[in-house]
Structure formats: structure tokens, C-alpha cells
Structure 1
């Protein structure tokens, strides 16, 4: 989820913590514990300051893993207890553990996902039923906070919210399943026989979903408006780049970061001039206004050595070339 939603979740959990006898007289301790624990797994966002490859490779990676899900609450408990020794540290730890767990748990439901099963698996868990920012979830938490601030009992306010959210998530799974079935009905029988992957992901609008279908011969990309699906792009797939070339490309940090992260993509390789050969990997999840915003690109010289590479979100071809040759 986005930072704002994690913050309001932390405030909501703080309201519940006020009913814990060990925390009830220590609002500052509770708020610090729950808001910090609701945000700390995203501390890897600082990697944006290094470069996109480092950020894409690591964001929601190790900081959302099983060891860190257990480590963050211990660190928060030690820090909070140092400055507030009148509170039972076991209760600080329990609330901090709940905050961290809920952060990691809700993140697996969007299309970015997390590596929550590390170190047992480095696979990205991307259930793709909730947008990174879901206005309905955010508003529901905000409404709960307002009602609590006006004096309503936190259990009376937030227990129903958890129940509503449970059914909301169930509905989103049902929607996603129905759209996936509808997508498959629209793909030609020939392509369906050589199906590789189907991707369905939410947008910020409740009834609008992004869809992508990958077959052995074509890529279909579009959107679903309710049950009405419109494919905005259908592209014949190129043969995969030469394996020797791919071995070289996979060593590049930008290309490696993209390939490790993207769950559905296509590639485009072409000779731009006598001295420039371009290989571009295009994430099919991010088509907007006829432009794929998340890509990885490499330019190679006539000896097939990488001279420039870049990966990230770029919203025009001009900006992409500018960023490519700035690195």
C-alpha cells in the first residue's frame, strides 16, 4: 500500500492499543510504536537516492522478509522502551509485531507485491487485487479515525472496519477471477492454445482493471471496464534475443533488476545505426495513454558491449533517451 494508507492504519491500531491496560496511559508510546511499525518496512525507499536498479531490486524485498518482519518489532521495542521505561516491553513488542505484520500482509495484495517469503523463496508475491492506493480503503480508515476522535469506542469503530475490509478483499478476488475468465474468452482460439500468462491488476477506479495476455505468438494489453474488455495493443512477439547476448545483458544491473521484478513483459531488439544496437524490455502492466511507462533499455556497440542502460518509470520517449544517456 501507499505511505498514507500505512499511516492511517497505524493510527487506527493506536486507537485499539489504547484499550490495552499497559498502553492506555501512554498515548505517545502507543502512537510511536504503531505508526513506526506500520512504516518501517518501507525504509528501503531510501535506495531511490542511489539509483533505480537498487530501488527496484530491493524495495519490498528483504525489509519485508520473514527475518525482518520479526526483527523490526524488536528494534522498535528497544528504541521505544529506552525512552519510556514505564511501559511493559512485552506489550510494546506485541503491538509492534502486529503493525509490521499487517504492513507486509496488505502489501502482497497489490501488483507490485513483496518478497515476504524470503529467505525460503525469492519469488515476488503479487496477488493483484488491490491498487497500491485504494481510495475506498483509505477513506474507510480515515472515517474510523474521525469517529474514534469524536469519542466512539475504538473496538466499536475498528472491528466493523476489519470485517468490511475482509469482505471487500473477497469481492476484489471475485472480480479479478471473473475478468480473467472474460479475458480468455476474448483471445483467439489459436493464441489460447499457446497461452503463456494472463495478468489482471486493479487501478485506482473500482470497476477498471489492467489486463495483459501473453501467448507464444502475441501480447494483448488493455483494460477492463466492468466486464467490458478493450485491448488497446496487440503486438506480435519477437524471438527471444540471442542467449549469448542475454547472458551479457543479465549482468547489467539495470536489466537484471527489471527481469527479476517484472512478472509479464515483452522485448524489442533492433539495429538503430551501424554503431548502436538496442534491446528494450517492456513491462506490460503499465500501459497508459499508449505509452508503456516501465521499461529497461540497453544500447550496445558493434561488438555487443553495453554502452548505456537504464530501467525505471518514464512517461515519454524523449525523457527515456535523456535518462538513458545520463547514466
Structure 2
């Protein structure tokens, strides 16, 4: 989820924790748990700072080890002990329990986005991305805001957020059912599909579609059960040639390929260099595919420049490549 949603979730967990008799027993316990819940709901995303290094490192590692099973335990212990230093006298055991709830919920809800996480590490390095909930879901964010307002107006935070999370649980079930309906509609249109990615958007009834069949890639949108195919590409395996072997050694291309499950490739020969491009097919927006990896190679297969990330125009991509060269 986005940062704002994780913040309001932290407040909600802090309010929910007042149902715990030990937390509600003293002011220091309730205050410390609220602070721990807010920090715990954010701390797995500390790897966002990797973006300061470069996009390749960020893409390869964001929501990776920081969202893994050992990390959930590590973050919760770290948060509990840190907050206990700020609030001496708070109940450390219950501080840890609610820190664990906050961190676990952060990782859990991220699984339902199209980006996903490597939440099963070290058992598996596979990306778990269910795509049922948009990174920012206005309904989930809105119901959290309503709960916080009720709390500020004097409502009981424990029962308010308990009811709220029951409602959100039913919302997740609804989104799952809707996603399966769209998947069924895709299979009716493309019965030979061997992989179907159905990802939510900001709009309740609209879904992004990326499909592979034996011979083609299909990209489209669904509105309820109505499917529209925008693009169809021939499915051609990446050639096992010297150019592509050299391209795959580039850090940006390597990071892209480790993350993207459905992509196509292009190669263009220019006067002084060869350009290899990989294009993720999951994020089509206004006729453009913004998530790419591109590398320029000399005739001797040395890397001139490369880039991976989200760009929304060819002009901006060329600018980023020039910056990388400089």
C-alpha cells in the first residue's frame, strides 16, 4: 500500500489495541503502543531509501528482504525496544505484540497489490502479488479516516476499528470475487491463455489485464465483465545471442528481469550503437508502457548507458539515459 494508507493503519492498530486490557490499563501503555503501531506500520518500507542509490538496487530489493518472514520478527522486536526506551515503564511484552501486529499487517496488505512482496523469504524468493487491491485504494483509506475521525470525536477506538476491520475483510473478499469474475471473462475471450494477470486500478470496476498465450501477449482493460484488448504482441523468446547475453549482464536490465513476469523486447541498430529494450506489459497507461529497461551497447558489446524504471515519455527516457551517461 502507499505511505498514507500505512500511516492511517498505524493509528487504527493503536486504537484497536485499546481492547487489550493491559494496554488500556495505563496512559503510558496506550501511548507507547500507539507510537509503536505507527512506526511498525511504516518500518518495512525503510528500503525506499535504496532509491537514493539507483533504480536497479531499488527494484531488486524493495519489498524484498525487509518484508520477509524473519524481517517481520526483527522489525517488531526493534520497534518494541526502541519505543520502550522512549516510554520507560510501558509493558514490553504487549508493546512487542502490537508492534508485531502492525508490521505483519503492513506486509500482509502489500501482498494484495500488483507490485507484491517477497513475503515468503527465506522459504521462497517468489514475488507474491495478488493484484486485488490498488496500491492506493480510496475506499480502504477513506474508511480508516472515518474511523480516526470517530475516535477524535470521542468514539471508542477499540470497537470502532474492530468493526472497521470486519468491514474491510468483507471488502477484500468482494475484490477477490470481482477479480475472479474478470479472470473468467478473460478465459472466455482467450481460452488458450496460460498466464493471466488481473490487477486493480484506482477505479472500483476497472482492471488492468496482461495475458500470455502460446504465441502472443495480450494487454487490455476490463470494466466489470466487459473485456477490451488494446494491444497484441507476438510472443518471441529472448534470443540467446551475444547482444542479449551482454545486455542481461547490465545491472538495470538484470533488476528488471528479476522483477517483471510479463514483458516483450525490442532491439534497434543505430549508427554507433545497438539499443536493447525490455518493456513490462502490466502497466499500460494511455497507450504507453511506462516500466522499461533499456541498455545501449557498442559494437564490442560494452555498455554505454542503461536505465530501468518508470518513464512516461520517450523524451524523458532519453534525458535519463543522457544523465546516466554523464
TM-score, normalised on structure 1?
0.94
The CA deviation at 1:243 is 4.5
Single out whichever of 240-249 and 83-92 deviates more from structure 2.
240-249
**Superposition RMSD on alpha carbons, in Å?**
1.5
Q: Retained in 2: the 8 A contact 1:22–1:87? A: no
Q: Say yes or no: does 1:91 pair with 2:94.
A: yes
1:114 to 108, 112, 117: 117
Report matched runs for 1:169-188 at 5 Å: 169-187=172-190
* Equivalent-residue separation in structure 2 for 1:100 and 1:156 (angstroms): 21
Contact 2:33 2:99 in 1 (8 A): no
User: Is 1:231 aligned to residue 234 of structure 2?
Assistant: no
Report Cα offsets for 1:247-275 as digits up to 9, x if no partner: 3222211011101111211111222x232
Question: Could you tell me which residue of structure 2 aligns to residue 167 of structure 1?
Answer: 170
**Which of 306, 309, 317 is residue 306 of structure 2 equivalent to?**
309
Q: Cα distance, 1:239 vs. partner?
A: 4.3
Runs (5+) with no aligned partner, structure 2: none
SS at match of 1:90: helix
Q: Are residue 213 (structure 1) and residue 227 (structure 2) matched?
A: no
Question: Which of 34, 44, 48 is the equivalent residue of 2:47?
Answer: 44
Correspondence 1:204 to 2:202: yes
Instruction: Report deviation, 1:144.
Output: 1.1
TM-score (norm 2): 0.94
Q: CA deviation at 1:22?
A: 3.5
**Displacement of 1:174 after TM fit?**
1.1
Structure 1: stretches of 5+ with no match in the other structure: none
How many angstroms does 1:77 deviate by? Answer: 1.4
Distance between the aligned counterparts of 1:301 and 1:309, measured in 2?
A: 12
Give the match for residue 247 of structure 1.
Answer: 245
1:10 aligned onto 2:14:
no
The alpha carbon displacement at 1:279 in A equals 1.2
